[in-house]
Structure 1
């Protein structure tokens, strides 16, 4: 699917590759991960637009007896909120159409995370708030900017079993029981890396 850059004030044409080319990795316990490198070409301009235009927020989190800064910036867009860029609406609609026979519903929300440097991260977790604590679901992630590792391991700990280096328009979709039976993280890195934005598309009632 091609969108002409001139229609969206982009400096270059932007294309989404055919989702039929996506590769699936079967995990244990009914979980799976789909991966399509460079799903979105010409993604650097979208990264710049989101970096500039999204009203990023710095959150804090209670950890035992301390309140700590969340090591990334975030912005969540609910089902009735317009997304911050037309190309994200196109991505959401393409994913909904492709996965509808398997998922049974559309992707409805988008959570954005900005990893400013290698010091920003997200700890091991599963997206189990809401329906996903008891039901299979899908979380689709479009990655923009500098590649960072997304690591996966079975729930409960143990070594990393799968790693995906995601950036510059790469797509990964975690499905089946993945949010209940596996955990994922974006680990810190001591390497000098540039910023990355991840866009997580989810169904209603899943966080």
Structure 2
């Protein structure tokens, strides 16, 4: 992975401020997206630790009449589980503190995805398993490593919105976003480095 010129690790791995540094974009049907570029400095060091220490798993999934490999590595930490790095514990606490007044609860779980190269991806979907099928919620994504496009579009199709996130960027999908919009990380033939996505969710949401 090529390190970012803007990800200064001289002072260690450090979370920045949220508050007024977060930019919100209102979508349709009560959905919204918050973005905070470069929230975590020294994020490339965290990427290296997670890449080497997380018990990554490959999954297989039925698609139509065959079973195929899921094109990324994954690891899930349920509510109450210790996260694999103290920086992720601090990240979850900071997100809970910032969004608790709006969310009404803390972030509880963490799902990690490792996109090893441009052939790793995730198809259009919403995180609508569990409470988010009927309730507003938030999914906060911390992106580490090489920047990759994250696309959003209204459920059922329509023009997409593109965010390019990596090297410590934060993106939060809130409101009705998981019910009324979809998101994806598409494949690419361009040479890209690896990216780890850390998704913080509330209790009962996948």
Determine if the TM-score, normalized by the shorter chain, exceeds 0.5.
Answer: yes
Q: Determine the C-alpha separation between the residues in 1 that align with 2:198 and 2:11.
A: 21
Matched, 1:195 2:189: no
State the 1:19 CA deviation. Answer: 0.7
State the 1:11 CA deviation. Answer: 7.3
Q: Determine the C-alpha separation between the residues in 2 that align with 1:11 and 1:67.
A: 46
RMSD of aligned residue pairs (Cα, Å)? 1.0
Structure 2 gap segments, 5+ residues each: 1-8
SS at match of 1:81: coil
Question: 1:40 corresponds to which residue?
Answer: 40
State the 1:159 CA deviation. Answer: 3.0
> Is the 1:24–1:35 Cα contact (8 Å) retained in structure 2?
yes
Q: Determine the C-alpha separation between the residues in 2 that align with 1:67 and 1:11.
A: 46
> Is the 1:11–1:45 Cα contact (8 Å) retained in structure 2?
no
Which 4+ stretches in 1 moved above 3 angstroms? none
Question: 1:112 corresponds to which residue?
Answer: 112
Question: 1:66 corresponds to which residue?
Answer: 66
> Is the 2:13–2:45 Cα contact (8 Å) retained in structure 1?
no
SS at match of 1:25: strand
> Is the 1:145–1:195 Cα contact (8 Å) retained in structure 2?
yes
Question: 2:15 corresponds to which residue?
Answer: 16
- TM normalised by structure 1 equals 0.93
Structure 1 gap segments, 5+ residues each: 1-9
Q: Determine the C-alpha separation between the residues in 2 that align with 1:56 and 1:13.
A: 25
Matched, 1:180 2:152: no
The 5 Å alignment of 1:165-176 reads 165-176=164-175
Q: Determine the C-alpha separation between the residues in 1 that align with 2:176 and 2:104.
A: 15
Q: Determine the C-alpha separation between the residues in 1 that align with 2:158 and 2:64.
A: 23
